[in-house]
Amino acid sequence: MYMMTIILLIGGFVLYRREMSQKVSSRKSYVYGFEGTAAVDVAEEEEDKRSLFQRLIQPKLKVFKRQFRRNIPSEKQEKLELKLLRAGNPMGLSPFEYRLVQLILYVSFPLLFSILAIIGNASFGRVLFMILLGLGLAAYLPVVYLRMKTATRYTEAVKELPDFIDLLAVSMEAGLGFDSALSKVVSKQEGVLSNEFRRCLEELKLGKTRKEALSGIRERLEVDDIKLLIGSIIQAEQLGVGMVQTLRVQSEEIRERRKQRAEEQAMKAPIKMLFPLVLFIFPCIFIVLLGPAIIQIVEMFANQ
């Protein structure tokens, strides 16, 4: 019965749409004549070829996007865009799309968790707890995801930095200018640094100064080694110091700092291993060594 009702409603809606479209096309043909009718038919054919998402959902998203830009201050939008850029712009999300994902999670997670609790015949307090848990996860997961992507990206950039500087210095020693050498290295190498310096070159073509473009890299990659490198390049350009020599010095210093960080981590390793040893390994050793003796002592007292 319900299926028949739904089928009849859908069929009636389709017939109504077809009748209305025919009326509209006939009115437009009456107003514009034959040429207008042909243009209307072409437009209707193009509209029919579009998917349901393009015809119904996409216009609504555009309206929401305009409202988002109108209601959210530009400073907050810029901060959110900077966070996405630091994370590598995951899945190509814009600030509006990221907020939309957060909104979907805020609605879907509590709803899903509450449905699971109701199916499990949970009490009202348990259902309320599951709703709050869903809200907490919806608020926490996107932030943690961005932080993890940002940390991974920073780690990759630090690993790539010495080799990238060496290639840039070799290209400049071969007679290329800084921009040409940078373009050459970026075209031959892939990675986080290549993507950032490629963006820097594009900003230079759009009219930004070299200092502004390089400062953008420093904002998107908040790593001490990269900040020092960008600062040295800007200072060398302003003071007229040899760029190749500056790059060589920076490469050696970065490798030395990497070596010092590795030694520091190696010295911290015994302290970090102390707690797992005390909590997990030592109890097992005590059980293996003292277990048989304890069993014998218990049996001896039991026989007495």
CATH number of 202's domain? 1.20.81
State the pLDDT confidence band at 101, using cuts at 50, 70 and 90. confident
Look at residue 50 in the predicted model and tell me its pLDDT.
Answer: 60
pLDDT digits (tens, 9 = 90+) for 32-77: 444 444 444 444 555 555 665 566 666 666 766 676 667 777 788 8
Look at residue 148 in the predicted model and tell me its pLDDT.
Answer: 94
Identify whether 171 is part of a domain.
yes
Identify whether 188 is part of a domain.
yes
Number of compact structural domains in the chain: 1
Task: Tell me which residue range forms the domain holding 242.
Answer: 157-253
Identify whether 272 is part of a domain.
no
Nearest Cα to 195, choosing from 228, 231, 203? 203
Identify whether 238 is part of a domain.
yes
pLDDT digits (tens, 9 = 90+) for 241-284: 788 888 888 888 888 888 888 888 888 888 888 888 778 888 88
Identify whether 161 is part of a domain.
yes
Identify whether 45 is part of a domain.
no
Identify whether 166 is part of a domain.
yes
Identify whether 300 is part of a domain.
no
